[in-house]
Amino acid sequence: MKKIVFAYALISAGSAASGVTNLNRTGIKHAPIPLPNFCKPLNKFCEHVAISIVSNFIGCFFLATLAVHDVIWLSKH
């Protein structure tokens, strides 16, 4: 059960991070004070954030696979 809760927390964190990163890449034009595209001057940082988000989703996939494997193992014993 703890693995599933942790997987949901990983999915939630990755989704929030990807939304904020998307806003940083495109800029925020609909805000009262429009914000520019932050990834133009901070390109290397945005690339590292994107890599960490992809790693987060890959880790979540492996954790979910492990949880399913545990359920199958428990059902056989």
4-58 pLDDT tens trace: 777 778 788 888 888 777 777 777 777 677 777 777 787 888 888 888 888 888 8
Domain residues for the domain of 67 are 2-76
Measure CA 35 to chain center: 23
Report pLDDT for 72.
92
Q: How many CB atoms lie within 10 A of CB 54?
A: 12
Report pLDDT for 38.
76
Distance, CA of 61 to CA of 64 (rounded, Å):
5
> If pLDDT is split at 50, 70 and 90, which confidence band does 70 have?
confident
Element (H, E) at 43: helix 43-76
Looking at the 3D structure of the chain, how many domains does it have? 1
> If pLDDT is split at 50, 70 and 90, which confidence band does 65 have?
confident
Place of tokens 């949880």: 67
